[in-house]
């Protein structure tokens, strides 16, 4: 974030506190990151290991801004959120404070804060983590015709305590220079043909856990264990960044990998000839594993009305911007994806699994551990 931009934002404020997140195009906060970056932290206390450093900027009217005017968000979904929140403020006059961290950290923080939490909204980059938050009793069920009419039933919880805002497909990727016939199923990634040629994200990352949860849902735990075992038998190179995984495929460290599609959107923006392609898996069956970016009103939200206003806006007026900011697929099927994303082609998505990822996350962790997946 440059200073000029900061000044412009400050100039647009009527009152209250504004918090600016220095979100860049970095990969996700890795699961090994320790920092939940607090919006009220001074810059010198910011965890330098967190790629999403958050900067605090305050503060004109103190608590007077809370008269319906400020929403506080804990978000594990980092990509491009700052301009989206700015647009929400411009449209509604409601300001947004936000704190970034990874999904499990933010969940633990909400549990620890209990009724004293300042958070009105929690956003995640993973379906399992929001369902685990629901199970922990820290989300509020909301009654919103806007959300139930906009977000398909498969992409929100049964009791409407969380809502997907975008879909993120986790697919097979391969070198367009060295691979003629990449696998077309997740099981195919374990074919001995890919021995020593495979890159995977580590077991600690929610993306990996939700992928394996989807295998358990589709194939049963015994078969899912066999599939993951076959991946491990291919002696994968574990890399805890999807961007680095794409670059490893491009550079020849591996020939195939499993990764989210939106990273390719970013890489193609920088280099239209980036030599990695997408394979849509399971197209003769259940469809590609799809995870979601979600949002929920917290059970102890100080400003539940503002929280709901933000989520409804993200699902409607802000839906295109939210999804496009990270080359994701909009949750609202009536909103077109970014043209680069459209260029990835049409595909069948395993949407029915989305709601079940949380319930199967513990079993997925067990499968990963039992198979020696690092």
Q: Which residues bind Fe ion (CB under 5 A)?
A: 28
295 by DSSP, 3-state: which?
strand
Give the nearer residue to Fe ion in terms of CB position, either 102 or 360.
102
Q: Whole-number minimum distance, CB 105 to Fe ion, in Å?
A: 16
**Smallest separation, CB 167 to Fe ion (Å):** 13
- Residue 76 φ/ψ, nearest 5 degrees: -90, -5
- Our CB check for Fe ion shows the closer of 120 and 126 to be 126
Quick one: CA torsion of 173, 177, 178, 179, rounded to 10 degrees? 50
Shortest approach of Fe ion to residue 78 CB, angstroms?
Answer: 8
Backbone angles phi, psi at 206, to 5 degrees: -55, -30
Smallest gap from Cβ 339 to Fe ion, in A, equals: 21
Placement of tokens 């993200």 in the chain: 314
Coil vs helix vs strand at 65: helix
In the complex with Fe ion, the residue whose CB is nearer, 169 or 367, is 169
For residue 260, the minimal CB distance to Fe ion (Å) is 5
Q: Are 75 and 23 in contact (CB under 8 A)?
A: no
Closest residue to Fe ion, based on beta-carbon distance: 28
Q: Which is nearer to Fe ion, 103 or 312 (CB)?
A: 103
Pick the closer one to Fe ion by CB: 206 or 287: 206
Residues 6+ apart with CB under 8 A from 372: 232
Q: Are 135 and 358 in contact (CB under 8 A)?
A: yes
**Least distance to Fe ion, CB of residue 29, Å:** 9
Dmax (CA) for the chain in angstroms is 64
Q: Which is nearer to Fe ion, 28 or 282 (CB)?
A: 28
User: Strand pairing of 95-100 and 198-200?
Assistant: unpaired
- Within 10 angstroms of residue 208's Cβ, the number of other Cβ atoms is 23
């Amino acid at each position: 974030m440059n200073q000029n931009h900061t000044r412009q934002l400050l100039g647009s404020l009527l009152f209250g506190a504004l918090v600016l997140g220095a979100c860049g195009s970095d990969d996700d906060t890795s699961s090994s990151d320790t920092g939940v970056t607090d919006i009220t932290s001074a810059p010198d206390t910011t965890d330098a290991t967190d790629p999403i450093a958050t900067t605090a900027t305050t503060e004109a009217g103190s608590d007077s801004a809370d008269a319906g005017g400020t929403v506080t968000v804990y978000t594990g979904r980092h990509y491009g959120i700052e301009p989206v929140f700015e647009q929400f403020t411009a449209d509604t006059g409601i300001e947004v404070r936000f704190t970034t961290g990874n999904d499990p950290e933010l969940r633990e923080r909400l549990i620890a804060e209990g009724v004293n939490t300042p958070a009105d909204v929690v956003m995640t980059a993973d379906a399992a983590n929001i369902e685990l938050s629901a199970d922990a009793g820290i989300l509020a069920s909301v009654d919103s015709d806007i959300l139930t009419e906009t977000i398909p039933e498969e992409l929100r919880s049964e009791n409407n305590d969380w809502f997907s805002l975008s879909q993120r497909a986790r697919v097979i990727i391969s070198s367009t220079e060295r691979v003629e016939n990449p696998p077309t199923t997740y099981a195919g990634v374990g074919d001995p043909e890919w021995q020593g040629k495979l890159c995977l994200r580590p077991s600690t990352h929610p993306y990996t856990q939700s992928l394996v949860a989807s295998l358990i849902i589709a194939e049963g735990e015994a078969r899912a264990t066999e599939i993951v075992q076959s991946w491990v038998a291919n002696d994968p190179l574990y890399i805890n960044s999807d961007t680095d995984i794409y670059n490893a495929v491009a550079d020849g460290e591996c020939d195939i990998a499993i990764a989210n599609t939106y990273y390719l959107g970013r890489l193609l923006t920088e280099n239209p000839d980036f030599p990695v392609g997408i394979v849509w898996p399971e197209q003769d069956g259940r469809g590609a594993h799809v995870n979601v970016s979600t949002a929920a009103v917290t059970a102890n939200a100080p400003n539940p009305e503002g929280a709901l206003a933000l989520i409804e806006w993200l699902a409607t007026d802000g839906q295109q911007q939210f999804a496009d900011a990270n080359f994701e697929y909009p949750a609202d099927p009536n909103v077109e994806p970014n043209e680069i994303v459209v260029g990835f082609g049409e595909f069948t998505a395993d949407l029915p699994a989305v709601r079940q990822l949380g319930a199967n996350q513990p079993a997925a962790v067990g499968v990963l551990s039992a198979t020696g997946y690092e």
